[in-house]
Chains A and B, each alone.
Chain A
Amino acid sequence: MRAAKALSVVVPVRDNAATLGKVLTAIRHSALKRENYELIVVDDSSDDASAIIAARHADTVVRLTGDGCGPAYARNRGIEIARGEIVAFVNPDVVVSPDTLPTMLSTLATRKDIAAVAASRDEPAGAQNFASQYWNLLVGFGEQRHPEICAHFESGCGAVRRSALVAAGMYDEWRFGRECLEGLELGQRLQRAGHRLLLLRDLRVVYLKRWSFATICREVWQRSALLTRSFGYQRTSVSVPGEVVITLSRALTPAIAVVGSASLAAAFVPPSFGLIRDVCVLALILLGNLPVHRFYARQKGLGFAIASAPMHVVIQSIAAVALCIGWLLRDTIGDRLPDATTQAFSEVGLEIWPPVPRRI
Chain B
Amino acid sequence: MTPEALDDVVSASPWHDGGPGLSASRLAPGRSARVDEAEVTGPPLLWRRTPRVSLIVILPEGHEISQAELADRSPIPGDGQGDVIVACAGRPANLQALQRTVRDAQFLFTPAGTSAERLRELAIQRASGDIVTLVSGARLAPALSVQDERQSC
Contact = CB atoms under 8 A, between A and B. Distances in A.
Interface string B1-32: 00000000110111111110110000000000
Contacts of B16: 65-66, 352, 354
A355 interface: yes
Interface in B82-127: 117, 120-121, 123-125
B147 interface: no
A260 to B, nearest CB: 43
Nearest to A56: B117
A188 to B, nearest CB: 26
Contact of B132 (A2, A55, A68): A55
Contacts of B33: 348-351
B49 A341 contact: no
B134 A353 contact: no
A63 B21 CA distance: 16
Interface string B56-67: 100000000000
A356 interface: yes
A324 to B, nearest CB: 29
The residue in B15, B22, B124 that gathers the most chain A C-beta atoms within 10 A of its C-beta is: B15
B152 interface: no
Contact of B130 (A56, A62, A341): A62
Interface in A49-92: 51-52, 55-56, 58-69, 81
> How large, as a class, is the contact surface on chain A?
20 to 34
A351 B34 contact: yes
Given A55-B120, A55-B123, A345-B10, A60 B15 contact: no
Contact of A68 (B14, B72, B117): B14
Contacts of A68: 14
A352 to B, nearest CB: 5
B41 interface: no
Nearest to A81: B131
29 contacts: A2-B73, A56-B117, A60-B134, A61-B131, A61-B134, A62-B51, A62-B130, A62-B131, A62-B132, A63-B130, A65-B18, A65-B130, A67-B15, A341-B9, A341-B12, A342-B13, A342-B14, A345-B10, A348-B33, A351-B33, A352-B15, A352-B21, A352-B22, A352-B48, A352-B49, A353-B47, A353-B51, A354-B51, A354-B130
Interface of A: 1-2, 51-52, 55-56, 58-69, 81, 339, 341-342, 344-345, 348-357
Query: Can you list the 7 inter-chain pairs with the closest CB atoms, starting with the nearest?
Result: A65-B17, A55-B124, A67-B14, A56-B117, A66-B15, A55-B120, A353-B51
